[in-house]
Structure 1
Amino acid sequence: MATTIRTRTSSNGHSHGNGGGLLVNLRLLGLLLLLLLQLGQLAYSLETQNQNTQKQLNLWPMPKHVNYSTSTLFIPSHFHLITQYADVSSILKDAFASLLTLINLPRATANNSKSKSPLLLLQGLNVVVSSTNEQLQYGVDESYHLSIPQPDPSKPLYAYLQANTVYGALHGLQTFSQLCRFNSKTKTVELNRAPWTIIDEPRFSYRGLLIDTSRHYLPLPVIKSVIDSMAYAKLNVLHWHIVDTQSFPLEIPSYPKLWNGAYSNSERYTIADATEIVSYAQRQGINVLAEIDVPGHAGSWGVGYPSLWPSKDCQEPLDVSNEFTFKLIDGILSDFKKIFKFKFVHLGGDEVNTSCWRTTPHIRKWLRRNGMNGSEAYQYFVLRAQRIALSHGFEIVNWEETFNNFGKKLSRQTVVHNWLGGGVAQKAVAAGLRCIVSNQDKWYLDHLDALWQDFYSNEPLTNITNPNQQKLVIGGEVCMWGEHIDASDIQQTIWPRAAAAAERLWTPYDKLAKDPREVTGRLAHFRCLLNERGIAAAPLAGPGRVAPEEPGSCYQQ
């Protein structure tokens, strides 16, 4: 750190004093220079220490506040949960049972309950949850306070986890799991650097990951594995792009022929499957955002109901002139309301080419009768679909084209989903609408040339300085489009790049590294942790979905 010294002269520009005074002043100046140099070195040391702390702590994403020391504790085989929380749905109990597996406690064969240093045994985890409300919705309190105190010879040692909701407690358990490491030499589970104090909460309430089950079907165990991995990184919204042009794999009881558009009978999701996915995600603090992408990405709908197509040879967008189109959308959203508990539904609205409408005789006649051109009919379709969603109690997410084309006409309950590039979030919040950031040049996982460093550096609040407008950016989402992704390669395409975005969305802005190189070691450690937990995360070196270049440690790849 460079230190600049500025000296002042008297107001008339002359130096003060005589020769003896000059010598004293020179000595004082020397002492002052030395003091300033030492202060500069101290400031540099503190800054370096803070940077080194960020590098050395193997926590991902980095919590809001962390304090720790140097003691090592051991997790005994009888490590247990203590709580007065009602836990009606057994969410906390099941999460604690999973925690024991995550920290490799079943592998610990040494009888550390008879350790020579019994005071270093962490006997259990005391969890206090303030609210008994287990409803998971957008904006739920996800904060937690985790403390592991200094050993006291007079009493057993316990860790303490306090949260306002069970979902905050789940995040605390994930953080606790990262403090523990299995020592293969001693056959014990260690918790290093105790005592700990961690106070944490997310920066953004919406931290999403999109999966696409239309381009390739993803079996239920694969989707559950993705949900598991999201929880490890504290992502909290699974955006399920269920259907698209290529296939319609979901059962819709109101219109049972829709899933005739699936690739095959075995590549389908029943209502029970969808309900199971929602429940599985909810128990890990993850909402499921369901999407039907209308009117432009819906060619598969017409396999079961051909009247939805403008014509057999021109199948998209959905027929805007046909009342059955909107009756069917109403039926889908009515069924969605019984399955998907998130308050938002995604209605798509992107990449709409209206040429089919303009070239199909009966639709062209309808346009003329209603005094509309193609773009006006596009607006009519989107706004009518929005009204249907609102009638079912949903708030709406639409891709950014709807805002770019007719933003002022959108429902004020619309969330604009940015994907094409920068600057859209700034315009959307200036118009008073909420926004989700997923700009494709930074946060599209199917772009295999995109580096994790770019995922880490992508800032959702770029050029948004007004605090009220900043609040309208509800978060961000990384997108795993499925054209070249299936069950065989999805996880190594998602991770570790999605984790880089996850820290951007969780960690306070002032705690984020200005240079992604500062977090390389910590992210590499998290990637290896994912591998240990059965998540096929790819190496950091290179772009997305690369293989290891040569033999070596996981931590060096």
Structure 2
Amino acid sequence: MIWQTICLGLMFQVILVFSDKDMQNLNLWPMPESVKYGNQSLYLSKDFHLTTEGSQYKDESGILKDGFTRLINVVTGNNVIEYDHIKVDESHLLHGIHVVILSKSDELQYDIDESYKLSIHPNGNPIYAYIEAPTVYGALHALQTFSQLCHFNIKARNIIVSQAPWTIIDRPRFPYRGLLIDTSRHYQPLRMIKKVIDSMAYAKLNVLHWHIVDRESFPLEITSFPKLWNGAYSLTERYTTAVAAEIVSYAKRRGINVLAELDVPGHAKSWGIGYPALWPSKTCQEPLDVSNDFTFKLIDGVLTDFSKIFKYRFVHLGGDEVDTSCWSSTPRIKKWLEQKGLNESQAYEYFVLKAQKIAASHGYEVINWEETFNHFGSKLDRKTVVHNWLGGGVAEQVVAAGLRCIVSNQDKWYLDHLDANWQGFYTNEPLTNITKPEQQKLVLGGEVCMWGETVDGSDIEQTIWPRAAAAAERLWTRADKLPKDPNEVALRLANFRCLLNQRGVAAAPVYGLGREAPLGAGSCYVQ
């Protein structure tokens, strides 16, 4: 079989195995779990192609084929290939990639197997790269890694794969590796959201946390309650249900889940533009009216519509920064609280738990911001995922209580903090002070957050990148493979930033803070 042939071939190849420090000199990002390489060079042939003989996966949806097409586009798109510029011996031509996928399914869901093995051994006739992966999404990661092995050779005017033979065995450290974008504070066009998704795939991030609505605007069409998007900034700054479905489909074909957020009961002033009954009063418009059955009927309707589009296991229900004073200062709500025997804090708990039950009725597991845990953690549904953001030390408290956690502490992983450098993103460890294996498993992973107050379509990419890439390696690569001094990876990160630029991503220079301009003339690789 294919892998038997490869193993036999290894007997005739010189494979160099380097230390973790030596591996830092490889221009791969994020760094794979295991890398072996040599000192030979191969050139992509003119008919470089994809084969899948022996694969259980039939690619009826075309996900793998599309991934291969994107691979060709990114490795050739920055240059004009002149295949006949020099004659290359057949023994140095790489004719294609043979992909074997073990699963027949292309379902994308939390905690699927994203591992892969990538081998390139110049002993075949003809020579192929080989990928084996349990799922098509592991194979997509392998194609991303392969793309970083490819470079334009100016003498040959062709794409070269140097340092062959290669054997790369890889898997992610955490199953949840997220990036939040916020389309309420500033509308992001569909084209830009797709560009963000593409760049996430380059760094092997796998969850787009879509913070769709907030107090400032409600840009999403909800067919059950069509007046909600009256809260959008304008008629053109809106997302139809078809656009939302397109974002989910586009992300899936790149191995990325879309986590939709409905932040309640706070952060919801814009909801009342279309439905004023959701406001406690015209002069006190947030949080949503806890005493009104219509509030929960509407949340149920929104989640009904969500369930038709957003197929990820989780939904985010927010729950942060809830100022409950409007409830006690509005006479009819104050009377309701007294009848129920609830104070403001208890009403906040009542609202969150009721919203959780509605989400569960639609098959969702709920993610809530950490305030819910801080206020009434023992009352939360035991399937709740607590999303840390206020600072360090929260994750260890959450997992000690037996709940799951996602880490996004704002002092390290908030991209809107423009004074935060990439070194801080790189060294932020999700498992700090969590040593028990059973508790470590409760940390699903982490997420960098691109809040939208100061970003729109003009500057979102350079605010995200390259700092998000620093966090991406922390979430992908085994902790024992990462250096304690982040400056040891600075040149490799600079190379990845240049790669992003070459692929049309407006990533800012590495040597600066958030979205700084280059300091002056110079090579991309030293900025």
Q: Does 1:66 align with 2:38?
A: no
- Identical aligned residues as a percent: 68
Deviations along 1:295-345, whole A, 9 cap, x unmatched? 011000000000000000100000000000000000000000000010100
Q: 1:51 offset after TM fit, Å?
A: 5.0
**Aligned equivalent of 1:554:** 524
Mapped to 1, the partners of 2:156 and 2:118 lie a distance apart of 27
Q: 1:53 offset after TM fit, Å?
A: 1.9
Given that 1:399 and 1:418 are in contact with CA atoms closer than 8 Å, whether structure 2 keeps it comes out as: yes
Given that 1:76 and 1:113 are in contact with CA atoms closer than 8 Å, whether structure 2 keeps it comes out as: no
Mapped to 2, the partners of 1:126 and 1:349 lie a distance apart of 47
Partner letter of residue 194 of structure 2? Answer: K
Given that 1:76 and 1:112 are in contact with CA atoms closer than 8 Å, whether structure 2 keeps it comes out as: no
Matches within 5 A, 1:128-277: 128-152=100-124, 155-277=125-247
Instruction: State which of 67, 70, 73 in structure 2 corresponds to 1:95.
Output: 67
**Aligned equivalent of 1:410:** 380
Shift in CA distance, 187/418, structure 1 to aligned 2, threshold 3 Å: same
Instruction: State which of 473, 481, 484 in structure 1 corresponds to 2:451.
Output: 481
Shift in CA distance, 291/234, structure 1 to aligned 2, threshold 3 Å: same
SS of corresponding position for 1:68 = strand
Worse-matched range after superposition: 80-89 or 92-101 = 80-89
Gap regions ≥5 residues in structure 2: 1-16
Q: Does 1:539 align with 2:478?
A: no
Given that 2:92 and 2:122 are in contact with CA atoms closer than 8 Å, whether structure 1 keeps it comes out as: no
Deviations along 1:507-546, whole A, 9 cap, x unmatched? 0111011110100000000000000000000001111100
SS of corresponding position for 1:195 = strand
Given that 2:43 and 2:158 are in contact with CA atoms closer than 8 Å, whether structure 1 keeps it comes out as: yes
Deviations along 1:449-505, whole A, 9 cap, x unmatched? 001000000000000000000000000000000001100000000000000000000
SS of corresponding position for 1:276 = helix
Mapped to 2, the partners of 1:511 and 1:307 lie a distance apart of 55
Given that 1:416 and 1:428 are in contact with CA atoms closer than 8 Å, whether structure 2 keeps it comes out as: yes
Given that 1:396 and 1:413 are in contact with CA atoms closer than 8 Å, whether structure 2 keeps it comes out as: yes
SS of corresponding position for 1:321 = coil
Gap regions ≥5 residues in structure 1: 1-47
Deviations along 1:108-154, whole A, 9 cap, x unmatched? 533259734210100110000000111100001000000001334xx
Matches within 5 A, 1:232-381: 232-381=202-351
SS of corresponding position for 2:47 = coil
Point out the structure with max Rg over C-alpha: 1
Partner letter of residue 294 of structure 2? Answer: F
Mapped to 1, the partners of 2:75 and 2:88 lie a distance apart of 22
Instruction: State which of 65, 82, 87 in structure 1 corresponds to 2:51.
Output: 82
Shift in CA distance, 263/105, structure 1 to aligned 2, threshold 3 Å: closer
**Aligned equivalent of 2:440:** 470
Given that 1:183 and 1:189 are in contact with CA atoms closer than 8 Å, whether structure 2 keeps it comes out as: yes
Given that 1:500 and 1:523 are in contact with CA atoms closer than 8 Å, whether structure 2 keeps it comes out as: yes
Partner letter of residue 452 of structure 1? Answer: W
Matches within 5 A, 1:425-464: 425-464=395-434
Given that 1:54 and 1:519 are in contact with CA atoms closer than 8 Å, whether structure 2 keeps it comes out as: no
Mapped to 2, the partners of 1:454 and 1:158 lie a distance apart of 40
SS of corresponding position for 1:463 = coil
Q: 1:184 offset after TM fit, Å?
A: 2.9
Mapped to 1, the partners of 2:171 and 2:85 lie a distance apart of 34
Matches within 5 A, 1:91-130: 91-104=63-76, 107-111=79-83, 115-130=87-102
Given that 1:145 and 1:161 are in contact with CA atoms closer than 8 Å, whether structure 2 keeps it comes out as: yes
Mapped to 2, the partners of 1:112 and 1:527 lie a distance apart of 31
Q: CA RMSD in A?
A: 1.3
